[in-house]
Structures are given as structure tokens and as C-alpha cells.
């Protein structure tokens, strides 16, 4: 098994069957080996630099009904909110003063934010903070919308593919959502010139070593600048309320595989990873991740952006905890840097 990890390190890919074998059969020693190697690769490419992104969860209205997600349309218990332009600019101001040079606007697919409204917002943020990168994470849109956002100044786009297996995609999403359209959106984003991010949840219902192998091969082929993975965590007001959460060990192992496969990728240790384990994000960094995304949303709405139960929303997760986060990163030999942290081009 060590040999497979080494092969992945050297060739940056594996055959489907090798991936399936590794995912289903690996032992603790293999996991440790992969994680240590992945950390070494991260250090070779990015040194001890960890990038921070200020996450602004600007709306939890959503027209979609993804079975796993706490802000799905059918969840009548979700208290809906949307931030005003002034609120959002205020979040950016606070973030900027704390040293953030990337803002991530994330939200449900909220019809209020039309092409014009969102483009206008993007334009204003970029005009106020021309030295910052702006990342969007607002789901599936038309090519015209993506183009308008890019022209308004958005630099990056996060759109997890969620799973690269068609049948698994259907287990996670009702119609009219489809894997085909999700992939089409990712291709469009790349074509337009966005730095693009894909990814998946670890341990989502229906996930198997086979579907995971598809995910890795899909990501290898897409070659995105960013990859976001984190454990699935069940939410009590969704059809997946009784499903088991993804595990720390699986997430760390897959982070390591991703670093070995895509050495230059920007790879966050996600909030979900920090939620399932108090040191989740540090362990993620030690397994090859190199990005953390503290929350810049106003405290008043943070508890409402509940994609899953138990989401960390105070303390270190809060931007006010940035000093703490710096300290936590220093204890593992890393340094938070406050530039845009662009993708390291090969
Ligand atoms: N509407 C946007 C943003 C979605 S939220 C979009 O469609 O891209 C960002 C990510 O959170 C999702 O892509 C999903 O992978 C993750 N997520 C949603 N529900 C989750 C849950 N219950 N547990 C863990 N991650 C979840």
C-alpha cells in the first residue's frame, strides 16, 4: 500500500482500481504515510504559508432542495435572511482591517440576487478593495450570469461537484438538479477564466470507494485551482437526519490524496472538519491542506446559515478569533499570510 502512495506521489495519479483498493483497504499506517508525504508536498510548494479567506454567508434563501442541506427549500424551520449591500460591505471592511485579502460570498440560490444585483455588488466590492480577490459560491447559473459576474470583477468560483457518479448524484439531489449540469457549469466557469474550485462531502449517504475513485479521477481531469472537501454532517431538519456523519480519518486521508494528486491546489481545512473535531482544521493542515476560511458573517445571522447541525459559529470560527487562529497555526509550525494567496501556477 505504501507503494501505491509512493506511486501517487511520483506520478500524481493512480488507476481507478488502485484508488478503489487504497480507499477500501488502507490501514492506519498507510494513512499516516500519506498524510506525512502530503504535508511535505504542501511545504515544498507553499512553504509554511497558510492562506485565509473571509467567508460571508450573505443569504440562506435557496430554490434548491438538496437532501443533505439545512437551508434546502423544504426546510420550513430555517429562519431565512439575506444581507443588504451595506451589511456585506461592512463585513468586507471588518475583514480588510483584520488582514483578509480574499472575500468569499457564499449563499443559497436566491432569486433576489439577479444577475444585475449580484454583478453590481461584486463591482462595488472590487472597486472598494481592488487589492482583494473575490470568490463566489452561489451555485448553478447561466453562462451569461457567470460572464457578468466575471466582468464585474469576481476572480474565483467555488462549485463543489458533490459526487462524480450519476446515480450517487441522484441520491443526494432531487430533480431538476443533475450531475450533467453541475459539470457543465464547472466547464463554463473555467472557460470564462475563473479560478475554479470543485469538491465533495466525505461520507455522504451513498458514497462508496467506487464513487470516491470517480471523484478523484474527475478532479484530476478537471485540474481545478481549488478543491473543497469536508465531512458530511447530518442536519435534523433534512431527509438525511438519521444518516451517519463523515469521519475525521477519512477526511484527512482524502485531503492527503488530493495534495499528492494536485500538488499546487488550494485546499481548505473546512469549517465542517473543524466541527467534527476540535483540532480538525490543524489536523487538516498537517495532512496537506493550506487554506482556512474564517467566518466574517455578522454574528446575528451566523446561526441561521446552518448547512448542518453543530456548525462552529463562535470563538475561533469568528473573525474576531483570528488572533487565536494565528496562534493555533503557529503551534503546528505554520504562518497565516494576508496576501491574496493566488494559486501557485505550475
Ligand atoms: N449554493 C451553493 C453553496 C452551497 S453551500 C452551491 O450550490 O454551490 C457549500 C457546500 O456545503 C456545499 O457544496 C456542500 O458540499 C456543503 N454542505 C451542504 N450541506 C452539508 C452538510 N449537511 N454537511 C456537510 N457539508 C454540507
Is residue 38 helix, strand or coil? helix
Distance separating the N- and C-terminal Cα atoms of the chain: 28
Tell how far the Cα of 19 is from the centroid of ligand 1, in angstroms: 25
pLDDT tens-digit series, residues 174-197: 999 999 999 999 999 999 999 999
Domains of the chain by start residue, with CATH: 2-337 (3.20.20.70)
pLDDT tens-digit series, residues 243-281: 999 999 999 999 999 999 999 999 999 999 999 999 999
Residue 11 in this model has a pLDDT that exceeds 90: yes
Kindly state the cell numbers that stand for 45.
510548494
Q: Look at residue 63 in the predicted model and tell me its pLDDT.
A: 98
Tell how far the Cα of 71 is from the centroid of ligand 1, in angstroms: 9
Residue 315 in this model has a pLDDT that exceeds 60: no
Task: Judge if the beta carbon of residue 163 lies within 6 A of ligand 1.
Answer: no
Task: Judge if the beta carbon of residue 212 lies within 6 A of ligand 1.
Answer: no
pLDDT tens-digit series, residues 276-313: 999 999 999 999 999 999 999 988 898 899 999 998 86
Mean per-residue pLDDT, 105-123:
98
Spatial distance between the Cα atoms of 142 and 250, rounded to a whole number of angstroms: 34
The band of 323, judged by pLDDT with boundaries at 50, 70 and 90, is confident
Residue 233 in this model has a pLDDT that exceeds 70: yes
pLDDT tens-digit series, residues 127-184: 999 999 999 999 999 999 999 999 999 999 999 999 999 999 999 999 999 999 999 9
- 106 contacts 302 by C-beta, under 8 angstroms: no
Tell how far the Cα of 120 is from the centroid of ligand 1, in angstroms: 25
Amino acid at each position: 500500500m505504501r507503494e501505491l502512495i509512493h506511486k501517487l506521489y511520483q506520478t500524481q495519479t493512480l488507476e481507478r482500481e488502485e484508488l478503489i483498493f487504497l480507499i477500501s483497504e488502507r490501514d492506519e499506517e498507510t494513512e499516516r504515510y500519506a498524510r506525512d508525504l502530503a504535508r511535505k508536498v504542501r511545504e515544498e510548494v507553499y512553504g509554511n504559508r497558510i492562506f485565509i479567506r473571509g467567508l460571508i454567508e450573505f443569504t440562506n434563501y435557496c430554490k434548491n432542495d438538496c437532501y443533505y442541506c439545512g437551508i434546502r427549500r423544504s426546510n420550513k424551520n430555517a429562519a431565512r435572511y439575506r444581507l443588504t449591500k451595506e451589511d456585506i460591505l461592512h463585513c468586507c471592511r471588518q475583514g480588510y482591517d483584520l488582514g483578509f485579502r480574499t472575500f468569499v460570498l457564499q449563499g443559497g440560490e436566491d432569486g433576489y440576487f439577479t444577475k444585475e444585483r449580484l454583478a453590481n455588488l461584486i463591482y462595488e466590492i472590487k472597486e472598494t478593495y481592488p487589492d482583494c480577490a473575490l470568490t463566489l459560491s452561489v451555485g448553478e447559473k447561466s453562462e451569461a450570469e457567470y460572464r457578468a459576474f466575471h466582468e464585474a470583477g469576481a476572480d474565483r468560483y467555488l462549485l463543489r461537484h458533490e459526487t462524480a457518479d450519476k446515480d450517487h448524484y441522484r441520491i443526494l439531489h432531487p430533480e431538476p438538479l443533475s450531475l450533467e449540469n453541475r459539470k457543465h457549469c464547472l466547464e463554463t466557469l473555467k472557460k470564462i477564466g475563473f479560478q475554479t474550485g470543485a469538491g465533495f462531502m466525505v461520507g455522504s449517504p451513498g458514497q462508496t470507494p467506487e464513487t470516491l475513485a470517480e471523484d478523484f479521477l474527475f478532479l484530476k481531469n478537471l485540474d481545478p485551482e481549488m478543491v473543497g472537501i469536508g465531512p458530511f454532517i447530518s442536519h435534523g431538519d433534512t431527509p438525511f437526519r438519521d444518516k451517519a456523519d463523515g469521519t475525521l480519518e477519512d477526511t484527512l486521508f482524502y485531503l492527503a490524496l488530493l495534495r499528492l494528486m494536485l500538488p499546487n491546489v488550494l485546499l481548505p481545512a473546512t469549517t465542517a472538519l473543524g466541527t467534527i473535531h476540535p483540532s480538525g482544521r490543524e489536523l487538516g493542515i498537517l495532512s496537506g491542506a493550506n487554506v482556512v476560511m474564517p467566518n466574517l458573517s455578522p454574528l446575528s445571522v451566523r446561526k441561521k446559515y446552518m448547512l448542518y447541525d453543530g456548525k462552529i459559529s463562535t470563538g475561533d470560527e469568528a473573525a474576531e478569533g483570528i488572533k487565536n487562529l494565528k496562534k493555533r497555526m503557529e503551534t503546528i509550525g505554520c504562518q497565516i499570510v494576508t496576501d491574496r494567496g493566488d494559486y501557485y501556477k505550475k
